[in-house]
Chain A
Amino acid sequence: MSRISSFEVSRSTRASKVALVGWIVILGVLISVPFWAGRGDMRFLIEFAYYLTLAQMWNLLAGYAGLVSVGQQAFVGLGGYMLFAASVYFGIHPVIAIPIAGVLIALISIPTAFVVFRLRGAYFAIGTWVVAEVFRLLFAQISSLGGGSGMSIPAKIVKEIASGRTERDMLIYFTALVILVAGTAMVYLLMRSKYGLALTAIRDSEPASDSLGVNIFKTKLTIYVASAAVTGVVGALIFLQKLRISPDVAFSLQDWTAAVIFIVVIGGIGTIEGPIIGTLIYFGLRSLLSDYGSIYMIVLGCVAVVMMLWAPKGVWGLITQKFDLQLFPVNRRVTWK
């Protein structure tokens, strides 16, 4: 009994403590970027941030909750359209419209969940895609938002975001950084909390987790809504950058889901580190190959196939196979005093 009363549960390892310092340094560097880097670098980092956040959200859904969605573009598109509607028709400051879009999309995602949650596995995946297509066709009919032609956000609204171009760039950059950090922190804290426990349990055995008091539906719904909201926030940010929206690009399967699945699968599904590595690889490949046109897409496809056959746990899986490493420690370790 003495051992029982003198245990301790620790979450971090030595590597993770070092990693924490690393993350803080990286965050510090990212915060300093606008003060020394060029506008092109900032735009690149914004794009990196939104792809990484999308990847974290898809990973949360598919990697942690087992909800393999191919319809996340529904929420990217909705986020974009809400930003346009809020700023053009309601005169809301675009940066403020971003979180509003997140809240509204969380609400919209609830009835959506009740439709797609009736389906399982591959049917769920197809169901989410169908939902995204429905939204695409729906927005193609809304003529006040440009219908199938799409619309541009008036230059006047963008110029009024901040007093000057530099200030505007900086504000959007920091918004992107906040979204990235908040999105990643949300996944991390969720996975460290009892929800993380429930999610892993559900992934490993649904009947067993059910019999241990885990409300599977509610847990999955929570994850689905949270990831939809953050995905929507990212969507709003994306189209504030693009300045123009149309149903085909807003609800683009290729841009907002296929690329993101590629990132997560390459990097390592079911880990927080995986999407970070995957995004680095994706951007690396893109800067090397994107000017080769369709060959670029073929190379991406081949890389994905090879990785799935050779290393289904992605690059991060290969790394952890060799080294016992956790940069975002979520596991619990019992030690005795």
Chain B
Amino acid sequence: MTALLEVQNLHKSYGSLKVTEDISFSINRGEALGVIGPNGAGKSTLFNLIAGGIRPDSGTVLFNGLDVTNFHLHERSIKGIGRSFQIPHPFGGMTVFENLLVGASFSAKLKGQDAEALAIDVLDRTGLLEKANRPAGELTLLERKRLELAKALSTQPALLLLDEIAGGLTEHECHELVELINSLRKEGITLIWIEHIVHALVSVVDRLLVIDFGVKLDEGEPHAVMNNPKVQEIYMGISAE
């Protein structure tokens, strides 16, 4: 089985500050990978390198066997890499339904009623159907998080990148979200999820990737990784939970 995504020797620095140093990993179709690391470890940069918001200084990103290292964000989205943002970016001037039409029309490249049907379907799956006609600017935080996920899904991604989507939610809300993501997994979506809330993460993902100071610290089965003393040492906050 060929990897869906293969990241090879990625380097990225801003001036003398190295934010990504020689990171390589791969993820197979249908797999879910969790990414953890302390604040400022370079997780979001890694995400942007994969999704296309940032170009690496060196290294390559292969998606579906295609070198997408120099592709724009929107091109990667069309190819099948969907992402959510850590801070929700709702299109406040549009309705929730229209928010989803954007990805359905431009990334999934569906026309007219097909795009509308996809949008409705995603709304249904993410529990936002009742809010279809509400301006996105009026949503609550949980609804915004759901919309963030829904927008990523509206692109019909083969690979979904989730950036701290559970942050700021109550235990109950977090649980709902985990269920939703697990249901997506069952549909066969491939997932990379950055999260601070490790127990949520561990209940979903197959593998964990730990980065610190831009360097890959460990990668493997979640419990084994969490038991790694080096991980526990630099990641006190998480190991304590």
Contact = CB atoms under 8 A, between A and B. Distances in A.
Direct contact of A and B (CB under 8 A): yes
Interface of A: 1, 3-4, 7, 9, 194, 197-198, 200-201, 203-205, 207-216, 331-334
B129 A3 contact: yes
Interface in B89-108: 89-95, 97-99, 101-103, 105-108
B72 interface: yes
Interface of B: 51, 53, 72-74, 77-78, 82-83, 85, 89-95, 97-99, 101-103, 105-109, 115-117, 120-121, 124, 129, 132-133, 151-152, 154-155
A213 B107 contact: yes
Nearest to B105: A194
A9 B154 CA distance: 17
Contact of B151 (A7, A197, A208, A334): A208
Given A205-B90, A205-B91, A334-B120, 10 more contacts: A194-B115, A198-B102, A201-B99, A201-B102, A204-B90, A207-B85, A212-B74, A213-B103, A213-B107, A332-B98
B124 A334 contact: no
Contacts of A7: 116, 120
A4 B154 CA distance: 15
B124 to A, nearest CB: 5
Contact of A207 (B53, B106, B129): B53
Nearest to B106: A213
A212 B155 contact: yes
A272 B92 CA distance: 19
Nearest to A332: B98
A176 B222 CA distance: 70
Nearest to A210: B73
B2 to A, nearest CB: 24
A49 B92 CA distance: 33
A144 B132 CA distance: 60
A158 B103 CA distance: 52
Given A4-B121, A211-B73, A212-B154, A334 B132 contact: yes
Contacts of A209: 91, 102
Contacts of B102: 197-198, 201, 209, 212-214
Given A331-B95, A332-B101, A213 B89 contact: no
Shortest Cβ-Cβ A-B pairs, 5 listed: A213-B107, A208-B89, A213-B106, A212-B103, A204-B91
Given A3-B129, A213-B155, A204 B94 contact: yes
Contacts of B107: 212-213
21 contacts: A7-B116, A7-B120, A194-B105, A194-B106, A194-B115, A197-B98, A198-B106, A200-B93, A203-B93, A204-B91, A205-B91, A210-B53, A210-B77, A211-B53, A211-B77, A211-B152, A212-B102, A213-B108, A214-B102, A332-B95, A334-B97
A212 B106 contact: yes
A194 B119 CA distance: 14
A205 B103 CA distance: 13
A14 B153 CA distance: 33
B133 A211 contact: no
A330 to B, nearest CB: 10
Contacts of B129: 3-4
Contacts of B89: 204-205, 207-208
Contacts of B108: 213
A38 B156 CA distance: 60
A280 B25 CA distance: 63
Given A200-B91, A200-B93, A204-B91, A215 B74 contact: yes
